[in-house]
């Protein structure tokens, strides 16, 4: 991934969608369930827009899924800026895990949902998305964004799983290593790309949840 970075600094704000509808809490929804936001999730989207209101942004990119579109709506209205939708930023496909709670994963499949990133990376979710395809589609999106906006400030609204894939690709670490980091609902993470430095990718902010008013 680093070999494809342009020779200019860039800031990427990675924003996870807000809290989802109550019926889908601690449920693997992935790309197969297009749920909306809870009332708290709507407020989280508003809080993100408020916290970033004085931050210049050149463009917004987003997953096409409803929960993401509802989260970015306050930012789009505030700035009069419509996002560019990239289907490759949709959440990963959890296959047969879809619709099951974390506890049900253990009882039905004999796996610990807490190991979900490791399980995904080893392609052990029945009928789940192939990890090579997952990484490929996310990398394609990120390279498109990076090369379109050298020296730019970009917001990317997407999903917790996809943010972890993005960070794994940029940092060139196994996806399972991202289990060490929480990516909460309505959180902002900021990555700077500085290709002239030895450490071309620097995380300036991770999993920050702007306060809800």
Annotated binding site for substrate: which residue ranges?
A: 67
How far is the C-alpha of 179 from the C-alpha of 176, rounded, in Å? 6
Residue of 21, 25, 46, 91 with catalytic role: 91
- Cβ neighbours of residue 57 closer than 8 Å, sequence gap 6 or more: 13, 79, 81, 153, 154, 155
Q: Is 91 a catalytic residue?
A: yes
Ramachandran area for residue 207 (φ above 0: left; ψ -120 to 50: alpha; else beta): left
Annotated binding residues, written as ranges, equal 67
- Reply yes or no on whether 17 is catalytic: yes
Q: Is the dihedral of CA 76, 62, 169, 122 positive or negative?
A: positive
How far is residue 123's CA from residue 25's CA, in Å, rounded to a whole number? Answer: 24
Catalytic annotation, pick one of 17, 121, 149, 159: 17
Distances, alpha carbon 209 to alpha carbons 8, 14, 69, 163, 206, in Å: 28, 12, 18, 15, 9
Catalytic residue annotation: 17, 91
């Amino acid at each position: 991934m680093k070999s494809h970075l342009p020779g200019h600094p860039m800031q990427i704000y990675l924003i996870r969608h807000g809290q989802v509808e109550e019926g889908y809490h601690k449920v693997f929804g992935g790309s197969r369930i297009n749920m909306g936001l809870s009332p708290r999730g709507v407020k989280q989207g508003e809080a993100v827009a408020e916290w970033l209101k004085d931050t210049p942004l050149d463009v917004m990119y987003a997953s096409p899924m409803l929960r993401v579109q509802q989260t970015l709506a306050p930012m789009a209205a505030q700035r009069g800026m419509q996002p560019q939708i990239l289907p490759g930023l949709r959440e990963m496909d959890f296959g047969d895990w879809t619709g099951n709670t974390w506890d049900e994963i253990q009882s039905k499949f004999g796996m610990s949902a807490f190991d979900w990133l490791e399980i995904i990376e080893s392609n052990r979710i029945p009928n789940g998305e192939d990890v090579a395809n997952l990484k490929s589609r996310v990398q394609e999106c990120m390279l498109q964004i990076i090369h379109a906006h050298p020296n730019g400030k970009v917001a990317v609204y997407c999903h917790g799983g996809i943010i972890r894939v993005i960070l794994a690709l940029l940092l060139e670490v196994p996806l399972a290593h991202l289990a060490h980091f929480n990516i909460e609902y309505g959180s902002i993470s900021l990555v700077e790309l500085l290709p002239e430095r030895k450490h071309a990718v620097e995380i300036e902010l991770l999993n920050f949840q702007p306060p809800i008013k």
